Amino acid sequence: MTGVMGMAELLLSTPLDPQQHDYTQAMQRSGGMLLKLLNDALDLARIEAGKLELEPVPFDPRQLLDDVAQLEQGLAHAKGIRFVLDAADDLPAQLLGDALRIKQVLLNLANNALKFTEHGSVTLRAQRIDGGLQFSVSDTGPGISEASQARLFQRFEQAEGPQRRAGSGLGLAICRELVDMMGGSIELESRLAHGSTFRVRLPLPRAGGHDGRQHRTGIAPRARQHVPRAPAAGRAGSDTVAGGGAERAQLPPAAGGGRQHRGGGDSRPAGA
């Protein structure tokens, strides 16, 4: 699949008439969607088999956020909406964590926000919290009903909307699994016609004194879960929701694995 996409990219760099250019772009987009689906399925299989390992290394959180924003700017520009990066000034220079998996979670959330938002903006925020960082992705999209919120983080589940067929329904399930593996928490706050905000809280220690060696963390195999997770009660209001009455779904950590994970209130592309 990567070979097909690479050849499509090379083809786009050659002289093409408008119709050929459109066909090649469609081939490239379709290949990207299929590659994403394959990667999502492989990630879930590794998680269930206990073979997906975290690789905590020192990373620059501001650079990670810049990378995510740069990758999302193209889609935002194509849709005529703004993608805003709001990083707190006091973010640490170096933290210890699996930057690749953190970026995967944030790209999933940002891609979903851009996919379902037709007007306005999508905002990626990051701020310090006790023992780590809180990331949030807010949009001015249609919002998500309470009924959909209760099942949105289950596998193959998607929110209702015209873009429903554009994804596999695996992206948000992978986000929940990865955040749980990293000992964090993820939550959704949304209200119909008032947009949505996804928040991810991760324990990320400072990298000072780290000797630079990679430390791997795995999880034990877990049983497949089919039981819906009901949202827990929470406070109203969000970065993009004005006034009260917002629905907030707190996602519990996935069952199994034998590890203790931090709870709390609140990171690869296209999911819900």
**Alpha carbon distance 90, 59 (integer Å):** 15
Position 9 scores a pLDDT of: 86
Residue 59 is encoded by which pair of tokens?
């990373």
What residue type is assigned to position 272 of the chain?
A
Contact 155, 268 (CB under 8 A): no
Residues 110-119 have pLDDT tens digits of 999 999 999 9
Average pLDDT, the chain: 76
Contact 254, 269 (CB under 8 A): no
As beta bridge partners, residue 251 has 186
Position 102 scores a pLDDT of: 97
Between 173 and 136, the more confident residue is 136
Position 100 scores a pLDDT of: 93
Residues 210-224 have pLDDT tens digits of 444 434 444 333 333
Residue 25 is encoded by which pair of tokens?
């772009």
Between 46 and 121, the more confident residue is 121
Residues 24-76 have pLDDT tens digits of 888 887 887 787 778 777 877 887 888 889 999 999 999 999 999 999 998 89
Position 168 scores a pLDDT of: 57
Q: Where are the alpha helices (DSSP H) in 98-206?
A: 99-116, 146-149, 171-181
- pTM for this structure? 0.69
